Structure 1
């Protein structure tokens, strides 16, 4: 794909609705052409048509089910082979509010495949391509339940903890390469996520943020250089303290003997 957009092309997964659709709108207005990935062809084409009409950018719909190997491989190939791509937004995901005694394990496996495996494979496709050019941005959408893990379904929370941990490792591995990694942790956001997860009333709760506000805040976080952006956390020092404590504790793990509390001779 050729493009004349000043900032290149942003590839966004889960781009036909919700957070992904808002990212598409905002990035188009920032000067990016777009590759929009989703599995619902009708909604994706409608979103692409609207963005072309409203912003004038080039928009390429890419129909793919990231839970299927062939669909995922198709998107990986595009990322590897299209040098105009300068940004990857790993937004596609699914959630649940069901406990382990209520949830179907096959559904949970499909969640892991989308939230973890697809995000990982697309990141592995993008990172070497971006490093070879000395520039690029990867935005991975995690969730506050990656920290507040008891709040929703355990597999969903664990998948979002993975995204946060993966982001920390990427930031270490790709330091000084010119590639930026941002991990975004939305709180409750008013999207179809809650319909799919089985708790539609959350969309209208007084603690639920609009998708527009969430994305706008996340992009400001990107602009100011945040590695981790939590739009709903007003007390930035709380996150800074959490990170400091985590890193200080990490330095204390390297001991050849068990701790005295275990009372081993």
Structure 2
């Protein structure tokens, strides 16, 4: 390990965003724990990164299986991990109406339960030692629920919510949390969910290397939320300010007058 950065644990590390994170973090000087289902792909990544001189551990895990999720939580608690990249995720093949209980349970297990449990395990370890970072890979669809399947976008909204809450509660304890919101990115996710990534207009589709490099710029700047495709951050800031302006009035003893008026009219 070159610069005392510690170990980065990357989920969904066998390809796509996770594999590029593995490459970039290894070249920064992190040791790595790669966690995904496909051991052979992770071993190939490990072989390609030998020139970095980093130590790479491969942890075969299906995060929808309780025993595998337990194993990754245990690895996070070992004490040497300083960065968790919560990247593993999936999309449904088809709409809400075209999927059954098994498919819906699986996406919730992978996109919500697993990252929540791993973020909690990492945060506990990081608070105990006073430093550490969690990167949650969400999606711009967290901000646009009308545009896509609600379960997938809802799972990414959960990660954004979790990240912002962690920033509010644990940043003063030495834990940096970043939510990364990619737009359409060229990864295997599309094919696995029965979608043709090449059907996207070329101007909408970001290359995965560009996405991760931009996310790491946000990481270095300690941004709480990084949206690589967004040209101007002013709308995001305005939305955050509008959201915060509602806070004093979101919980009150009295019903808002705008609801009392309809009761009066009915009477």
Question: Could you tell me the TM-score, scaled by structure 1's length?
Answer: 0.94
Distance in 2 between residues matched to 1:22 and 1:205, nearest whole Å:
23
Following superposition, the deviation at residue 77 of structure 1 comes to: 0.3
Q: How does 1:35-74 map to 2 (within 5 A)?
A: 35-52=33-50, 54-74=51-71
CA RMSD of aligned residues (A): 1.5
Q: For residue 124 of structure 2, what is the aligned residue in structure 1?
A: 128
| Number of the residue aligned with 1:241 | 238
* Structure 1: tracts of 5 or more residues without a match: none
Counterpart Cα distance in 2 of 1:145 and 1:96: 14
- Is the 1:22–1:215 Cα contact (8 Å) retained in structure 2? yes
The aligned length equals 261
Q: CA shift at 1:204, angstroms?
A: 5.9
Asked whether the 8 Å contact 1:37–1:62 carries over to 2, the reply is yes
Q: Give a deviation string over 1:139-192, Cα, whole Å, max 9, x none.
A: 001001111112221100110000001111111110311110000000000000
Deviation at 1:201, TM superposition (A): 3.1
For residue 13 of structure 2, what is the aligned residue in structure 1?
Answer: 15
Moved more, 194-203 or 33-42: 194-203
Q: Which residue of 2 aligns with 1:216?
A: 213
**Unaligned runs of at least 5 residues, structure 2:** none
Q: 1:31 to 1:4 in 2, by over 3 A?
A: closer
Which residue matches 1:254? 251
Aligned to 1:189: 185
Pair 1:117-2:113 in alignment:
yes
The CA distance in 2 between the partners of 1:135 and 1:36, in whole Å, is 21
State the match for 1:30 in structure 2. 28
Q: Match of 1:75?
A: 72
Q: CA deviation at 1:202?
A: 4.3
Q: CA deviation at 1:203?
A: 7.1
SS of the equivalent of 1:7 reads: coil
Instruction: Answer whether contact 1:190 1:210 (CA < 8 A) is retained.
Output: yes
Superposition deviation, residue 212 in structure 1:
0.4
Which residues in structure 2 correspond to 1:126-165 (within 5 Å)? 126-165=122-161
Measured in 2, the distance between the counterparts of 1:246 and 1:64 equals 38
Deviates more, 1:247-256 or 1:107-116: 247-256
Give the deviation of 1:134 after TM superposition: 0.8
Contact 1:189/1:214, CA 8 A, preserved across alignment: yes
* 235-244 or 42-51, larger mean C-alpha shift: 42-51
Question: Structure 1 runs of 4+ off > 4 angstroms?
Answer: none
